[in-house]
Structure 1
Amino acid sequence: MTPVSTHSPHGQSSLRTVQVLGGGNAGSSAHVRSLAAGLVARGVKVTVCAPVEAERTYDFTGTGAHHVHVPRSSDPGSLAVLRAACADADLVHAHGLHASFRTALALGGRRTPLVVTWHDRVHADGARAHLLRLLERRVMRAATVVLGATSELVDRARRTGARDARLAAVALPGHPRRPVAPEDPDRLRPKARAELGAIGRPLLIAVGSLERHRGYDVLLDAARVWRSLDPVPLVVVAGEGSMRAELQRRIEDEGLPVVLAGRRDDVTELLAAADLALLPSRRESRSVLAQEALHARVPLVASDVGGIPELVGDAAELVPHGDAEALADAVVRLLDDPERRELLKDRGVRQAATWPTEDETVAQVLCVYDELTQPGLLG
């Protein structure tokens, strides 16, 4: 690979970058922290503009970056703070649709290169859906380069007006406070299963916010089938969200073998204890759960949506989204077929080895930065 310069085109000793994060989901926030750490280690000056809550959780300053509190808002005060933070930057990198839109407004007519990483699509209905399409077009046309986390996002960026859209798969970063994977998961597995109430029965794990697009209503439909199995599997869902009360009512009314475990900081241990991981989403880009499941050698059953097929290849059982019968059948087949489960575990390890490391992700992004800050590029 061609060596990457950390010199700005204007003669300063180091490239000065600003990373802009909005509310930020866990994946994009962890990516910004990973990126900040890698850039600082390579001599790049990094400022992270993000809400103070994100700084408390992800400790951007712990990487050597400078943090500026910018609320998740497009009001004039927030834009003024963002504009000031970007004033001396050689390049600005925004993550997510809303953060990118605010950044485009803050930069105004400046010629500072704007890189946008599109981690996932934002979805809405009715009038809000029309507004989101307008925001997408505005952001795609304002960006110097759009980096899509999946091929699907890259294609959409090009259709929406991006001048330069490229695939830039985001590595699965180690969350600064995520527990380290146990050295001996087999030793801890019985303890974790006992705590969850899964002794002598299969344990199925799903992780993600309790929101409509996660497909947990479909998961509960499938769980009605699993009630007839012997032994009955236990389904544990880790996450919180607006659908908790609705889902809990169904679990109780229908006697479903499902536990809503709330937010958990031990997802690594949960997966290590599981027989299967479930991802019934209606939409997904580069799923963190899918990546962690394959890394942990846990067979995965997932919807064939968005970036999932590209991410997992032949290392998971894919089912049509919204099809509870297909989801239920896939789980029953895997529970009855230990050889198939072992095959998926081995394939998962091989597939995970094809994903970029954090160092490779940082190197790719830095190559883009170097390209965009070469003298004469923008004029």
Structure 2
Amino acid sequence: MHEQVERAEHGRAQDRGVVVTAGQDWAGSVMLVLASSIGGIGQHVASLAAGLSQAGCAVTVCGPAATEEHFRFTDRGARFHPVEIPANPHPSDMRAVRQVRAQLAAVRPDVVHAHGLRAGMAAALARPTCPLVVTWHNAPLRAGLRGRVHTLIERIVARSSTVTLGASADLVARARAVGSADARLAPVAAPVPRRTRRSTASVRAGLGVPDGAPLILSVGRLHEQKAYDLLVSVAARWRELTPTPRVLIAGEGPSYLDLAAQISQLRAPVTLLGHRNDVGDLIAAADLGVVTSVWEARQLFAQEALSGGLPLVATAVGGIPELVGDGAVLIEPNDPDGLDTAVRKLLADPQARAALAERGRAQAATWPDEAATMSELRDIYAELTGRAGRG
């Protein structure tokens, strides 16, 4: 009896007595699927869960239990079912596929929307009978056997999806190249600015930053993609500056021990902060933000920096140039001299930093908000469910 009630509440729209129409009136049933995430993908899915629930959609999120603990999907109006989809291929993958398939049978959604290739693969192998949307958030960076496996996964996911959404234009092009029949630029809302809770002086004092010392900030997962080893090596050069800048890196990840050893060996003025819940305070207290990644789509910290008025130096990779426009200083990836020069120039010129911050705020104001993103996404869902109904 409980299962029958649950299906009535969360099943396909027609089973719930909901009339599915176009665009902003669409109020169907959506299953969101994600793999392990502590950053941008999870935050994006949480935003979608909240917006879709508020719009009257029945939302089920399938993902690792840790994602519910971190992003609290159920507090945002969604049902949550734990499905352990690790960040990398694992022997337990088929168990995840079976769990997704079981949820498909129980929930009977109108649309399945997976986020990231790992979640997309699990959803594709579960063989949903409804339209499958997969958003690509990242590009593969590995060569050799791992790179070939990743390309195979891309091909399977692209060809299994009804629609592929790319978080940046290069991802859309890549999806088309590996066989997606319908690849589009993903509607992605700008992150809601984080609230500041403490004064700049108290934040800097708590971090042990001396008065007058420039504070340089980067936020992201400690992973080779972020090229934080480059930032550490260049930061070691800045010891010669007076006062010496302090570099803070907020985030967790597999590169922590290697970075800590590098910082110690080079005596670089860098502190690894680990995971932080006060990123808004850190942005407000910093003088300059830095992104050194070798690839990004819509990099979360870049968005938060520009929205928060923090001057930013970032690598011109992936979706970053189209994201930041003229609101950041762009440098080439893997270019230590370019990073060094850009940072030194901005630290020496407060007026240039202020002008850059102003351009950054102006650029951030052009990004779509939650309402626009939700409207566009529901248009896509309405199109697909209408197409499926006619078929």
Q: Do structure 1's residue 65 and structure 2's residue 49 form an aligned pair?
A: no
Matched length: 364
Q: Is the Cα contact below 8 Å between 2:33 and 2:63 reproduced in 1? A: yes
Of stretches 11-20 and 326-335 in structure 1, the one that deviates more from structure 2 is 11-20
Q: Scaled by the length of structure 2, what TM-score is found? A: 0.88
What's the counterpart of residue 288 of structure 2? Answer: 276
C-alpha change, 1:282 and 1:245, in structure 2 (3 Å) is same
Of stretches 211-220 and 325-334 in structure 1, the one that deviates more from structure 2 is 211-220
1:208 partner amino acid: G
Q: Do structure 1's residue 289 and structure 2's residue 289 form an aligned pair?
A: no
What is the percentage of aligned positions where both structures have the same residue?
44
C-alpha change, 1:376 and 1:23, in structure 2 (3 Å) is closer
What residue ranges of structure 2 are gaps of 5+ in the alignment?
1-11, 19-26, 87-91
Provide the secondary structure at the position in 1 that maps to 2:373.
helix
C-alpha change, 1:161 and 1:191, in structure 2 (3 Å) is same
What's the counterpart of residue 180 of structure 1? Answer: 195
Give me the whole-angstrom Cα distance separating, in 2, the residues matched to 1:378 and 1:127.
Answer: 42
1:180 partner amino acid: R
2:377 partner amino acid: V
Give me the whole-angstrom Cα distance separating, in 2, the residues matched to 1:302 and 1:82.
Answer: 38
Q: Do structure 1's residue 128 and structure 2's residue 128 form an aligned pair?
A: no
Residues 218-252 of structure 1, C-alpha deviations (whole Å, 9 max, x = no match): 11221132111111111111122233232222322
Residues 296-321 of structure 1, C-alpha deviations (whole Å, 9 max, x = no match): 10100111111111110011111111
Residues 308-365 of structure 1, C-alpha deviations (whole Å, 9 max, x = no match): 1111001111111111111011011001111211111110111001111112111111
What residue ranges of structure 1 are gaps of 5+ in the alignment?
1-6
Q: Do structure 1's residue 149 and structure 2's residue 162 form an aligned pair?
A: no
What's the counterpart of residue 3 of structure 1? Answer: none
Within a 5 Å distance, the mapping from 1:111-122 to structure 2 comes to 111-122=129-140
- Quote how far apart the aligned CAs of 1:174 are: 4.3
1:336 partner amino acid: A
RMSD of aligned C-alpha atoms?
1.9
Q: Scaled by the length of structure 1, what TM-score is found? A: 0.91
What's the counterpart of residue 225 of structure 2? Answer: 213
Q: Is the Cα contact below 8 Å between 1:111 and 1:378 reproduced in 2? A: no
Q: Is the Cα contact below 8 Å between 2:216 and 2:247 reproduced in 1? A: yes
Q: Do structure 1's residue 38 and structure 2's residue 51 form an aligned pair?
A: yes
Question: Which of residues 114, 117, 142 in structure 2 aligns to 1:97?
Answer: 117
1:142 partner amino acid: S
2:177 partner amino acid: R
Q: Is the Cα contact below 8 Å between 2:141 and 2:225 reproduced in 1? A: no
Q: Do structure 1's residue 203 and structure 2's residue 221 form an aligned pair?
A: no
2:62 partner amino acid: C
- Quote how far apart the aligned CAs of 1:129 are: 0.8
Q: Do structure 1's residue 84 and structure 2's residue 95 form an aligned pair?
A: no
Give me the whole-angstrom Cα distance separating, in 1, the residues matched to 2:32 and 2:341.
Answer: 44
1:192 partner amino acid: V
What's the counterpart of residue 159 of structure 1? Answer: 177
Q: Is the Cα contact below 8 Å between 2:215 and 2:288 reproduced in 1? A: yes
Q: Is the Cα contact below 8 Å between 1:118 and 1:149 reproduced in 2? A: yes
C-alpha change, 1:371 and 1:34, in structure 2 (3 Å) is same
C-alpha change, 1:249 and 1:77, in structure 2 (3 Å) is closer
